[in-house]
Amino acid sequence: MRPARPSRAALAAAALAALLAGTATSGCARSSALAGNAGPDSTLIRRDIAWLADDAREGRGTGTPGLDSAAQYVARRFAALGLAPLAAADSVCNSPCSPGYLQRYTARPVSPRGHAGPAVTLPASNVMSVLRGSDPALRDEYVIVGAHMDHLGRSSESALDPDAKDAIRNGADDNASGTAAVMELARLFARHPARRSIVFTTFSGEELGLLGSAYWADHPPVPLDKVMAMVNFDMVGRLKNDKLIVYGVATATELPAIVDSANAAPRLAISAQGDGFGPSDHSSFYAKNVPVLHFFSDLHDDYHRATDDVEKINAGGEARIVGVAERVIRTLADRDKRLTFVKAAAPVASGGSSRTGSNVYLGSIPDMASSAEPGLRLSGVRAGSPADKGGLKTGDLIVEFAGAKVTDIYSYTDALYSKKPGDTVTIVVMRDGKRVNCTVTLGERGK
SS3 at position 159: coil
Mean pLDDT within 157-172: 92
**308 vs 278, more confident:** 308
148 pairs with which residues across the strands? 203
Please give the pLDDT value at position 3. Answer: 28
- Asked whether the predicted pLDDT for residue 349 surpasses 70, the reply is no
Please give the pLDDT value at position 94. Answer: 44
- Asked whether the predicted pLDDT for residue 227 surpasses 70, the reply is yes
Helices (H), ranges, 53-137: 65-80
Domains of the chain: 8-334 (3.40.630.10), 350-444 (2.30.42.10)
DSSP string spanning 201-259? EEES-GGGTSHHHHHHHHS-SS-GGGEEEEEEESS-S--BTTEEEEE-GGGBTTHHHHH
| Predicted TM-score (pTM) of this structure | 0.82
- Asked whether the predicted pLDDT for residue 351 surpasses 80, the reply is no
- DSSP state, 346? P
Please give the pLDDT value at position 92. Answer: 45
246-258 tens-digit pLDDT = 999 999 999 999 9
Please give the pLDDT value at position 343. Answer: 92
SS3 at position 89: coil
Q: Which of 231-245, 316-330, 344-358, 394-408 has the lowest mean pLDDT?
A: 344-358
Please give the pLDDT value at position 346. Answer: 65
Please give the distance of CA 59 from its chain centroid, rounded to a whole number. 15
Cα distances (Å, whole numbers) of residue 47 to 11, 20, 85, 212, 306? 10, 13, 24, 25, 20
Would you place residue 361 in the very low, low, confident or very high pLDDT band (cuts 50, 70, 90)?
confident
Please give the pLDDT value at position 30. Answer: 67
Would you place residue 359 in the very low, low, confident or very high pLDDT band (cuts 50, 70, 90)?
confident
- DSSP state, 103? E
Q: Under 8 Å CB-to-CB from 82, ≥6 apart: which residues?
A: 24, 30, 33, 131, 190
* φ, ψ at 323 (rounded to 5°): -60, -45
Beta-carbon count within 10 A of 329 CB: 26
Mean pLDDT computed over every residue of the chain? 86
Torsion of CA 261, 263, 265, 269, to 10 degrees: -130
- Asked whether the predicted pLDDT for residue 410 surpasses 70, the reply is yes
What is the widest separation between alpha-carbon atoms in the chain? 66
d(CA 282, CA 294): 7
Please give the pLDDT value at position 368. Answer: 75
Please give the distance of CA 100 from its chain centroid, rounded to a whole number. 24
Please give the pLDDT value at position 6. Answer: 35
**158 vs 133, more confident:** 133
Please give the pLDDT value at position 372. Answer: 64
Beta-carbon count within 10 A of 271 CB: 17
- Asked whether the predicted pLDDT for residue 283 surpasses 90, the reply is yes
Cα distances (Å, whole numbers) of residue 415 to 160, 362, 406? 20, 12, 8
Would you place residue 20 in the very low, low, confident or very high pLDDT band (cuts 50, 70, 90)?
very low
23-62 tens-digit pLDDT = 333 445 666 677 778 899 999 999 999 999 999 999 999 9
The segment with the largest mean pLDDT, out of 64-78, 275-289, 334-348, is 64-78
* Triad 76, 82, 86: Cα angle to 5°: 75
